[in-house]
Structure 1
Amino acid sequence: MDIHPADGALSEWFARAQAGSAHARREWAEGGVALLPCGPRFCAVRLAGPLVYAALGTDAAEVVDVSLATMLSGPVFCGGFSGQYYALVAGGTARHGWSYADEAPLLGTGTYLGVPAVRRTSPPGPYWVSLPLQPGDLCSLPSVAALVRLGLARSAEALR
């Protein structure tokens, strides 16, 4: 596994989302994934694999990973065996409304998310498709919305 240059700072930033950051670090050390609350620090948009594949025109993992990293320009991880992707967006985003709640739920306050350790950058299991460049670096909600719109349009087109 590749080690990101900002591994320590990123880990600490994510760990502080949890009241006891030592607990998150322990979960990462023991299982590679820590259960972190969405809310003030970050929210997440859950993207189903088929929606992502339709948007990108492929389900080839390597191509999907590179394309998501390029298109969203922010932190995205794959849930591993679940086939879900999670784009991390600014905390509090849920308060501003989200037009795609059914197709790509926005996970905010009150939701916990299994976040992989920053050193997990390849399968098996949950892994980072694209790490933040620095603590607090997140995907823009408009870029995630554009991906969802594209996936929905291409899915509808395929049904015709």
Structure 2
Amino acid sequence: MHEAVGSDDHQAVATAARTELRGPLIRDVLATGPTYWALTEYHTGVTWVDVARTPLLGWGTYLGVPDITVTEPPGPYWVEPPRWRGDLCYRPTLFDFIMRGAGLVPGPASSAGTEQV
């Protein structure tokens, strides 16, 4: 997340979640550092990259989520809580965000004129 945003500041990530991902994002600080979970739709035909660093959780996986009112540490918290039931990050936008963080695609400034869905 921080690589995609280009900042170590968690507020910059929160702003990017609101403006780019436009969906729910959870942050947790584990022994290995901050971990972010963007909630997105899953289906068995999804292909994903860099599974070791950005796992796509699927069927049979359980993710503990904080109470909807928890929006700051300690513990896991919502960087951007769901705005309504069924609110999710748009998977292609999330995928592009991850690819940008991996350095495989340019940032949003150089993608001007592309259509946002």
TM-score bracket for this pair, using the shorter chain length: 0.7 to 0.9
Cross-structure match for 2:5: 56
Q: Does 1:97 align with 2:43?
A: no
Q: CA deviation at 1:146?
A: 0.7
Aligned counterpart in structure 2 of residue 133 of structure 1, from 72, 77, 83: 83
> Normalised by the size of structure 2, how large is the TM-score?
0.78
Q: Tell me which protein shows more strand as a share of its residues.
A: 1
Cross-structure match for 1:70: 19
Q: CA deviation at 1:65?
A: 1.3
Q: CA deviation at 1:123?
A: 1.4
Of stretches 80-89 and 120-129 in structure 1, the one that deviates more from structure 2 is 80-89
Distance of 1:63 and 1:119 partners within structure 2: 21
Contact 1:88 1:138 survives alignment (8 Å): yes
Q: CA deviation at 1:149?
A: 0.7
Q: Which runs of 5+ in 2 are unaligned?
A: 105-117
Q: What SS does the aligned partner of 1:80 have?
A: strand
Aligned residues: 101
Q: Does 1:87 align with 2:67?
A: no
Distance of 1:140 and 1:98 partners within structure 2: 15
Distance of 2:102 and 2:25 partners within structure 1: 19
Q: Which runs of 5+ in 1 are unaligned?
A: 1-51, 155-160
Contact 1:66 1:129 survives alignment (8 Å): no
Cross-structure match for 1:124: 74
The one-letter amino acid paired with 1:89 is: T
RMSD: 1.5
The one-letter amino acid paired with 2:3 is: A
Q: CA deviation at 1:133?
A: 1.2
Distance of 2:29 and 2:78 partners within structure 1: 10
> Normalised by the size of structure 1, how large is the TM-score?
0.59
Q: CA deviation at 1:141?
A: 0.6
Q: Which is greater in Rg?
A: 1
